[in-house]
Amino acid sequence: MSKIAASLALASKGCQAMDTSDDYIEAIGLLTKAIELNPSDFRYYANRSLAFYRLNRYEMAAQDALKAVRLNPRCPANYVRLAAALNGRRRYRDAEVAALRALALEPTLRIAAYELLMARKMALISVGFDKHDVLQVIANCNTIDDGFGRLLKLIQMKDI
């Protein structure tokens, strides 16, 4: 069996471990072995990123997602994985950029839109804005900074 075929078999088993039994540690081990055999397949890094993410290991998830992006910058799912990991690390501005890149590649990708909204929402809530106020303006803001401006105007209007 060739290295590529062996890596595909290991990666398949790793994905199956995630999908059927939520065994993310097993998946990480299998995907790591697949990467050792074929380090140029972005899918292995993207899937291992997901496994790390599910274990709340956001730094490792971000590292793998970034490797997947470097290997295949035209795959929107790689940017979604990166955005999710960065949101987990509370790096909301970077998550916003990653989600926007995914949407630039595939404008109707719902999970990218979700990660974008989460980045904006959590960035605004994390600095003390009221959750209700954030939810009121988040759908209409274009960036995190735009959201700050809209919330400040909303607060000023409430004070009048």
Residues 2-21: tens digit of each pLDDT:
999 999 999 999 999 999 99
When pLDDT is averaged across residues 27-53 and rounded to a whole number, the result is 98
All structural domains of the chain with their residue ranges: 3-126, 127-160
Q: How many C-beta atoms lie closer than 10 Å to residue 152's C-beta?
A: 11
3-126 CATH = 1.25.40.10
pLDDT score recorded for residue 70:
98
Grouping H, G, I as helix, E, B as strand and the rest as coil, residue 23 is coil
**Rama region for 75: left / alpha / beta (φ>0; ψ in -120 to 50; rest):** beta
The C-alpha torsion from 99 through 77 and 111 to 23, rounded to 10°, is -120
Rounded to 5°, angle at Cα 125 from 121 and 128: 160
Residues 52-108: tens digit of each pLDDT:
999 999 999 999 999 999 999 999 999 999 999 999 999 999 999 999 999 999 999
**What type of residue sits at position 144?**
I
pLDDT higher than 70, residue 160: no
